[in-house]
Structure 1
Amino acid sequence: MTDSTPTPLPASVADLTLEEKASLTSGASFWYTKPVDRAGIPPIMVTDGPHGLRKQREGGDHLGLGDSVPATCFPPAVGLGSSWDTELVTRVGEALGVETAIENVGVLLGPGINIKRSPLCGRNFEYLSEDPLVSGVLGAALVRGIQSKGVGTSLKHFAANNQENDRMRSSSDVDERPLREIYLRGFQRVVEDAQPWTVMCSYNRINGVYASEDPWLLTQVLREEWGFEGLVVSDWGAVNERVPSIAAGMDLEMPSSGGRTDAEIVAAVKDGSLDEGVVDVAAGRVLDLVRKTQATAGTIAGPLDVDAHHALAREAAGRAIVLLKNEGGILPLDRTASVAVIGAFAENPRYQGAGSSMISPTRLDKALDEIAAYAGAENTAYAQGFTISPRDTADAAELRAAAVELAAAQDVAVVFLGLPAAAESEGYDREHIDLPSEQLTLLDAVLEVNPRTVVVLSNGSVVALPFADRVPAIVEGWLLGQAGGGATADVLFGEVNPSGKLTETIPLRLADTPAYLSFGALDGHVRYGEGLFVGYRWYDARELEVAYPFGHGLSYTTFAYGDATASVGADGDVEVRVTITNTGAVAGREVVQVYTSLPSSDVQRPVRELKAFASVALEAGESREVVMAVRRQDLAYWNVRAQAWTVEGGDYVVDVAASSRDLRARATVSVEGDAQTTPLSRESSLAEVIAHPVAGPIVQQALAQMGGGLLDGASSVMPEGVDMMQMMGSFPIGRVGMIAGDGFPPEAIDQLLAAANAPQH
């Protein structure tokens, strides 16, 4: 009789040989880590997410061509993010954790929180927002939910992975401030708030260095600055050179290399080019992950409650829908009205994107069936209207004519438009943001015979809406997962009051977008030329009109905002209070947003930036005080000279808003700045030196003694009114002798800098 009790894992890597330790740092197969049978170390399974469990039955392939076990397909991030609701997102995460645990999978590969730099990114449907705060807060909620069930997550794709074309080689060339403030900030929030078990490094290079080989990214920033305690795993095939990557802090290479890179690690240790301690650390992190998964294995047993999880998917999908426009109260639909349902997506739903995140759903709702359940089969008529499959050879004119005839005969037309599956996928980017011309032609024809037309969109990233001024109602349905058809009907008929809001701006045209001139690799490099001005930050700074702004979303009720107050608490955070009232006739939910700005700032800043938000449910007529906290660290900018986060002191304007351009209440709060941390050098400007509390008075006194007003123009031949300080302010202090002569010899400058940089008591 054989004892089936697993051998306890070793207390440390000291029990393992060099070869065994190296073997732990790469996969055994596509989805499994390597075991070490001698030491009782089992393999663990990791598998794709992020909006459902994609556990393949046999073999494996990263892009999801193989068959997968059925699992609940929740709304992808493009939809779920539009809920702005951490409680809902956490519950979805918990459900994902349960399904992952039932299938004995140790780590679900997600969430993805990369910034939507451009609507052209083919994988935007897997990402939450154009804003790092939304991405970080909701990403942390997902991680907490999933990991509460004893399975791990893999925060991805770290970092600056904002396009698909040439993603395995191209370099994302980003200046320090936008890299820190936009592209890394969401990752930092999730790591510090939720400690994902793993972080997945991306394929691309960052400023010329592969993410998998970057010690600054994987060790200095991720571990030393943010305190990450888990394991770094590569994206599948993201390792360029294994020895430099393990030295940089990339612990686990996936998938299997057939032992080749394990041998490279062993050889590097033996020839002295790699410290064995580096291998010990990486192997130890793999062992820690195995321990975590083993500690909870088998604690959640099946079978899966398919009905309950489908109901949650429907709730989440309903909360993801964004009502963009509703003129004349055409929505919600009258349940006694006759409805013409037009568009192939009503019968063949587009509910997720293509690639490694494709889920095999447990069931799939169709909007056509769900609309008929509300309106009655006798009041529901359907016309395909257009084709979405290349294999569909139906005549476009005939389909359009049939749809128009149907629309003319019904009280209201609900037209389902969207992007075909081939338009959005992992691995390649979109070329434009336009809906297919065939669909736009159909909509024009329907509007001619029935102005009571509602458009329902199915898309994984924003699309241009040239019809926005001619259609009375537009419902942004995103990709809603397996229950999206039912959720869409719930919203159309008022069973669910829409509360979703945009987490990405809908532009009028592609040429208006921030990365329009710099999206896509040129000679292997992608220049992030828009800097800090991503998404709404760009449109506000340029004062550009948009189709619908970031944060926008309507309801079947209305909300009034009271006066706002803002105060600094003992912990340095800013507490914002505002009373919200549901002034309509039905219960609803409002996403309250807080934006801040600093008009007196000495550094370049966006017009305003999102710093807090809350999702608030209110009954008709109900009022509630909403309290939101703006973290002090979220007010900080990345000080390049000091190489540190710095809170600039001053009077901050706090806008409480229904969208980034619908500002409802304003308060001002005085925030004390951080102490001067930037050391002075010979390259520091004269203005910076004069602003320094120690060096400034010394320099001003010296200059006053030289020439009787060198900087105020009193002895100058310059025209009246010319500001000499402004003219000379950018002059490096190390070269001031050129204008000050013997009054500022090099040794005096060095003494001045030493005094300024000395510790102050």
Structure 2
Amino acid sequence: MNRKQVLGWGLPLALAATTIAAAQAPTHTWDNKSLSADQRAHLVLKEMTLDEKIGLVHGYGMPGETELPESSNGGAGLTLGVPRLGIPPIQMADAAYGVTRSAPNGRYSTSLPSVLGATASWEPKSAYEYGKLIATELRLQGYNMTLGGGVNLTREPRDGRTFEYAGEDPLLAGTMDGNLMLGEREQHVISDVKHYAINDQENGRFAVNAIIDKRSMRESDLLAFEIALGIAKPSAVMCSYNLVNGDHACENDYLLNKVLKGDFHFDGFVLSDWSGTHSAAKASHAGLDMEQPNDFFYGAPLKKAVEDHEVTMAELDDHVVRILRAQFSSGTIDFPAEKGVVDVDNGYKVAQAIEEKSIVLLKNEETCCR
């Protein structure tokens, strides 16, 4: 075979190399884009080993705490994916009001007005542009999942993270945050809503126990989540640190299984807040799909629980399918993130437009008494 045959008759060198690489790239049945995300996820699942399944349901540390895998993008969280089957890592960055913890991936990220400020515009389009900008800059810095989307209601005005949330009204909060996440999802990132649920204060956040009846939850805090989920259909929900009626939120069967996955028909995956996982079997039974940022419970302990039949293989498979389905439905597999240069001028313009629209004064045009 001569040089021309190797490179492809008459093809430019670069094009020929690309053609050869494409021809050599492995193909899988789940690469068929005409299949649904659920079908593609189940096809991948059939080929996975137990160790590969366990590897997909936990993180691998975060900067400054552990030595990160070589494939890490330096963000707040990482799952390694399944390289053998063409499933890429999930690279996560905090991005509540702009991309943060972006390590050396980019020298610039737009600092947006607070979520609370953007919510004050009462304009869903502003929220959408907010999320779209975040997702665009995430992808340019090599990430495919955002850890933003806070929708906790303002119950404690001294809460240290109120600026990340969307106020005290469930209709407004759910509508604005839903549109923010919709803007993220449509840029092919895994969008995330947090912190589920009744997570309304930072002081004692690991130990506080929110005592609240089910009807009150459904008509307030959970209503905001329900509205946001209905608008954006995000791929991930982050459960919170606190306890709710005696059980940690990340191992709370009522919150995760009965309401979120049952009543709300959420088909994405639930990941823990960072170090918010407290058990293997109990959390798994309750509906937690992924531990972050490490593998203290969803690594060797979860594998042993499966081997000892304390956790069924079907239950583990459900966790895995939800993660895979999220990757397919969000487009992160078909449209992988590629690093580039952030458009600084565009970021300034979007941030200024959102800020200007947030400075509003609402009034009643009609009054009861003249």
Band of TM-score, shorter chain: 0.7 to 0.9
How much has 1:229 moved relative to structure 2?
A: 1.6
CA contact (8 A) 1:7 1:39 kept: no
How much has 1:12 moved relative to structure 2?
A: 3.2
Q: Distance in 2 between matches of 1:289 and 1:7?
A: 20
1:109 paired to 2:147:
yes
Where does structure 1 lack aligned partners over 5 or more consecutive residues?
59-66, 322-498, 500-552, 554-590, 592-657, 667-761
Which residue, out of 233, 236, 239, partners 1:195? 233
| Secondary structure of the structure 1 residue equivalent to 2:166 | coil
**Partner of 1:316 in structure 2?**
354
Matches within 5 A, 1:214-253: 214-253=252-291
Q: Distance in 2 between matches of 1:143 and 1:269?
A: 34
How much has 1:224 moved relative to structure 2?
A: 1.4
Compare the two structures and name the one with the higher strand fraction: 1
**Partner of 1:664 in structure 2?**
366
CA contact (8 A) 1:192 1:227 kept: no
Which residue, out of 129, 154, 159, partners 2:197? 159
Moved more, 145-154 or 300-309: 300-309
CA contact (8 A) 2:108 2:342 kept: no
CA contact (8 A) 1:54 1:69 kept: no
Which residue, out of 17, 22, 28, partners 2:60? 28
| Secondary structure of the structure 2 residue equivalent to 1:46 | strand
**Partner of 2:299 in structure 1?**
262
Q: Distance in 2 between matches of 1:247 and 1:282?
A: 10
CA contact (8 A) 1:213 1:244 kept: yes
Letter of the 1:76 counterpart: S
Where does structure 2 lack aligned partners over 5 or more consecutive residues?
1-16, 31-40, 63-76
Letter of the 2:80 counterpart: K
**Partner of 2:249 in structure 1?**
211
Q: Deviations over 1:14-49 (max 9, x none)?
A: 211222212211012322112333333321201101
Matches within 5 A, 1:604-643: none
**Partner of 1:293 in structure 2?**
332
**Higher Cα radius of gyration:** 1
Change (3 A) 1:7 1:263: farther
Letter of the 2:44 counterpart: S
Q: Deviations over 1:625-677 (max 9, x none)?
A: xxxxxxxxxxxxxxxxxxxxxxxxxxxxxxxxx2xxx58368xxxxxxxxxxx
Moved more, 200-209 or 100-109: 100-109
**Partner of 1:278 in structure 2?**
315
| Secondary structure of the structure 2 residue equivalent to 1:256 | coil
**Partner of 2:70 in structure 1?**
none
How much has 1:6 moved relative to structure 2?
A: 6.2
Q: Distance in 1 between matches of 2:173 and 2:147?
A: 16
| Secondary structure of the structure 1 residue equivalent to 2:366 | strand
CA contact (8 A) 2:147 2:192 kept: yes
Q: Deviations over 1:342-389 (max 9, x none)?
A: xxxxxxxxxxxxxxxxxxxxxxxxxxxxxxxxxxxxxxxxxxxxxxxx
How much has 1:7 moved relative to structure 2?
A: 5.8
**Partner of 2:172 in structure 1?**
134
Matches within 5 A, 1:362-441: none
**Partner of 1:14 in structure 2?**
46
Compare the two structures and name the one with the higher helix fraction: 2
**Partner of 2:33 in structure 1?**
none
* Identity, % of aligned positions: 31
| Secondary structure of the structure 2 residue equivalent to 1:174 | coil
Moved more, 17-26 or 130-139: 17-26
CA contact (8 A) 1:55 1:69 kept: no
Higher RCO structure (Cα 8 Å, ≥6 apart): 2
Letter of the 1:303 counterpart: V
Moved more, 129-138 or 237-246: 237-246
How much has 1:52 moved relative to structure 2?
A: 0.5
Change (3 A) 1:218 1:69: farther
CA contact (8 A) 2:277 2:283 kept: yes
**Partner of 1:81 in structure 2?**
119
| Secondary structure of the structure 2 residue equivalent to 1:293 | coil
Change (3 A) 1:19 1:236: same
TM-score (norm 2): 0.81
Instruction: State the number of aligned residues.
Output: 320
Q: Distance in 2 between matches of 1:217 and 1:663?
A: 41
How much has 1:203 moved relative to structure 2?
A: 0.7
1:93 paired to 2:131:
yes
CA contact (8 A) 1:113 1:157 kept: yes
Change (3 A) 1:664 1:6: farther
